[in-house]
Amino acid sequence: MHKFDLIVIGTGAAASAAAFKCRKAGWSVAIIDSRPFGGTCQLRGCDPKKVLVGVGALIDAVRRMNRKGLKSEGAHIDWAESMLFKRTFTDPVPQRQEEAFQKSGIATFHGVARFAKPGRIEVGSDVPGSPVRFDRHRRQTATAGHSRRELPEYQRPISGT
Ligand SMILES: Cc1cc2nc3c(=O)[nH]c(=O)nc-3n(C[C@H](O)[C@H](O)[C@H](O)COP(=O)(O)OP(=O)(O)OC[C@H]3O[C@@H](n4cnc5c(N)ncnc54)[C@H](O)[C@@H]3O)c2cc1C
């Protein structure tokens, strides 16, 4: 049984901020994600979107100005190249993010986390040989993501949204 002052579910912007801040204050912290580390914004949301939407907006602007002072014949979107470019900055994120947690002394775990009972979280019940069990040691659980339901005091939903 692992015991931590803070158990954080998710590794996106909200979860990372909570984890680093509490670790800096001397808490023992565990962080868990069922998907590659880094969260929506860096891997699937804001950052990739800006590049992919940016290409679309540019081609639209170029086509609108065609024959209005701009020769745009032949300009087109190369989707495969856009995706390759996107991957140059999304692919390194999971490893870089996990190493940053570990370097600051945050224990990292992979798998689906679920609340087994008040104060207890299980991770990876989907993985053979699991689950890993955690007890909230002194303080609380922070969850990042979408949940906005009423939760007991020891569970704190935090969202970057
Ligand atoms: C296409 C797109 C474009 C966007 N563009 C912008 C933008 O331009 N500007 C902006 O401000 N916002 C944007 N957003 C919104 C922004 O990405 C989110 O608001 C932000 O990422 C939320 O951060 P978070 O830390 O709350 O959650 P997330 O980053 O979503 O992290 C939640 C993490 O929790 C993990 N998780 C959930 N449940 C469990 C579980 N039971 N066990 C283990 N792990 C679990 C998930 O795998 C996930 O990694 C965009 C979103 C999308 C989808």
What type of residue is 35?
R
Atom of ligand 1 nearest to the CA of 158: 26
Atom of ligand 1 nearest to the CA of 50: 8
**What's the pLDDT at 4?**
86
Contact 15, 31 (CB under 8 A): yes
Q: Is the CB of 141 under 6 A from ligand 1?
A: no
Long-range contacts of 62-67 (CB under 8 A, 24+ apart): none
Once rounded to an integer, what is the mean pLDDT over residues 113-137? 71
- Tokens matching residue 112: 């689906």
How far apart, in whole angstroms, are the C-alpha atoms of residue 123 and residue 18? Answer: 19
Which of 46, 97, 109 gets mutated to test ligand 1 (max ligand atoms within 8 A of its CB)? 46
In tens, the pLDDT along 50-72 reads 989 999 999 999 999 988 999 88
How far apart, in whole angstroms, are the C-alpha atoms of residue 118 and residue 98? Answer: 27
Asked if residue 18 has pLDDT above 50, the reply is yes
CATH number of 2-40+94-155: 3.50.50.60
How far apart, in whole angstroms, are the C-alpha atoms of residue 31 and residue 98? Answer: 9
How far apart, in whole angstroms, are the C-alpha atoms of residue 59 and residue 21? Answer: 42
Once rounded to an integer, what is the mean pLDDT over residues 31-46? 95
Quote the pTM value.
0.85
Taking the centre of ligand 1 as the mean of its atom positions, its distance from the CA of residue 12, in whole angstroms, is: 6
For the chain, give every domain's residue range.
2-40+94-155, 43-90
- Tokens matching residue 41: 């914004």
In tens, the pLDDT along 147-161 reads 445 556 666 666 655
How far apart, in whole angstroms, are the C-alpha atoms of residue 160 and residue 41? Answer: 9
Taking the centre of ligand 1 as the mean of its atom positions, its distance from the CA of residue 10, in whole angstroms, is: 9
Instruction: Tally Cβ neighbours within 10 Å of residue 37.
Output: 25
Helix (H) or strand (E) holding 34: none
Contact 43, 36 (CB under 8 A): yes
Taking the centre of ligand 1 as the mean of its atom positions, its distance from the CA of residue 27, in whole angstroms, is: 25
Taking the centre of ligand 1 as the mean of its atom positions, its distance from the CA of residue 161, in whole angstroms, is: 8
